Amino acid sequence: MGQSIEVRCIAGALGAEIAGVDLSRDLDAATVAALREAWLEHLVLFFHDQPLSPAAFLAFARRFGDVIEYPFVKGLEDFPEIIPVLKLEHERVNFGGIWHSDTAYLAVPPMASMLIAREVPPAGGDTLFANMYLAYETLSPGMRRVLDGLGAVHSSAKADVSRTREDRTRDRARPDARTEYTATHPVVRVHPETGRRALYVNVAHTVRFEDMTEEESVPLLEYLFRHQVRPELTCRFRWRPGSIALWDNRCTQHNPVNDYHGHRRLMHRVTLAGDPPQGP
């Protein structure tokens, strides 16, 4: 791999830490290609000791794709594409604190998200990730056949997830944000780069199956929500200041653990443009 990059798996299901690269430098094409290859294989990449400035953080993100803005929360004053993900000492609810795939309620959900840790609590505040390829592949053949032909309706207004935005939208709401975003996507998503099938429903945003009522959809959706985050399908990442995570939003979910009440945690996030989800 370019520039002696070292890839260390952190769990059996997904996730790899990358060593041997300084992300503040102008990376050559071979190094970027090697990182992308590792990312597609491991679904989420982690880097430590990378205290990038906002400008350098954006420059690194742009080597992977086009940076887009988040629909609900304003970005930094000088860098509107960078969203501060902040939980203050007195707050009890954390931003996005539920299993989810980022903004699945958009017609074109993002390809990826990238997070850098600025301030972390002395303990806690880890992030869990889950492999949606394995979530699909570990279902029975009969269940896979049922799901392959289904669509699902996603909404930004599900109560549990909208509650995790309240503190940030109270003080940093975008003036052009809609009250609700909704979109319908295939339940089984074919990854445009790997060709693999991934389960594309999540407890934060998925409301019901297309052409079905919510009541009819609940039993199967609740089973899928439990199945897709079984421990053997996940990994857990512990942050340090200067740590970075880059995850593939097309085939993973994540959940920031809310176990650090009384402490401050500040992250900066950028989002990379994707394409409309396609089914089998």
Domain annotation covers residue 280 = no
Can you state the percent helix, strand and coil of the chain, rounding each to 5? 25, 30, 50
Q: Indicate the residue type of 158.
A: K
**Percentage of the chain surpassing pLDDT 90?**
81
User: Looking at residues 71-84, what average pLDDT do you find?
Assistant: 86
pTM, rounded to two decimals: 0.92
Q: Indicate the residue type of 257.
A: V
pLDDT averaged over every residue in the chain: 91
Domain annotation covers residue 277 = no
Domain annotation covers residue 37 = yes
- List the helix and strand counts (H, then E) for the chain: 7, 16
DSSP state of 160: H
Instruction: Provide the residue count of the chain.
Output: 280
Token pair in block for residue 109: 């959900």
Q: Is the pLDDT of residue 217 over 60?
A: yes
Q: Is the pLDDT of residue 171 over 60?
A: no
Distance between terminal CA atoms of the chain? 33
CA atoms of 178 and 154, how far apart (whole Å) = 15
Token pair in block for residue 111: 């390809």
Q: What is the total count of domains within the chain?
A: 1
Q: Is the pLDDT of residue 274 over 80?
A: yes
Range of the domain at 192: 2-272
Q: Is the pLDDT of residue 142 over 50?
A: yes
Domain annotation covers residue 279 = no
Q: Which residue has the tokens 């890839």?
A: 7
Domain annotation covers residue 171 = yes
Q: What are the catalytic residues?
A: 100, 102, 254, 269
Find the CATH number of the domain harbouring 267: 3.60.130.10
| 236 touches 84 (CB < 8 A) | no
Convert the pLDDT of each residue in 246-263 to its tens digit: 999 999 999 999 999 999
Convert the pLDDT of each residue in 32-67 to its tens digit: 999 999 999 999 999 999 999 999 999 999 999 999
Please report which confidence band the pLDDT of residue 176 belongs to, taking 50, 70 and 90 as the band edges: low
Q: Compute CA distances 42 → 36, 181, 208, whole Å.
A: 10, 30, 30
Token pair in block for residue 85: 């993900």
Q: Indicate the residue type of 11.
A: A
Q: Compute CA distances 102 → 12, 64, 96, 98, whole Å.
A: 23, 17, 9, 11
CA atoms of 57 and 248, how far apart (whole Å) = 17
Domain annotation covers residue 56 = yes
Question: Out of 89-98, 141-150, 183-192, 220-229, which region has the weakest mean confidence (pLDDT)?
Answer: 89-98
Question: By C-alpha distance, which of 205, 78, 85, 80 is closest to 154?
Answer: 205
Domain annotation covers residue 278 = no
* Residue 272 CA from chain centroid, whole number: 11
CA atoms of 74 and 83, how far apart (whole Å) = 7
Q: Residue 80 phi/psi, 5° resolution? A: -60, -20
Token pair in block for residue 35: 């990182």
Label the pairing between strands 16-19 and 44-47: parallel
| 204 touches 255 (CB < 8 A) | no
Please report which confidence band the pLDDT of residue 108 belongs to, taking 50, 70 and 90 as the band edges: very high
Q: Indicate the residue type of 74.
A: K
DSSP state of 48: -
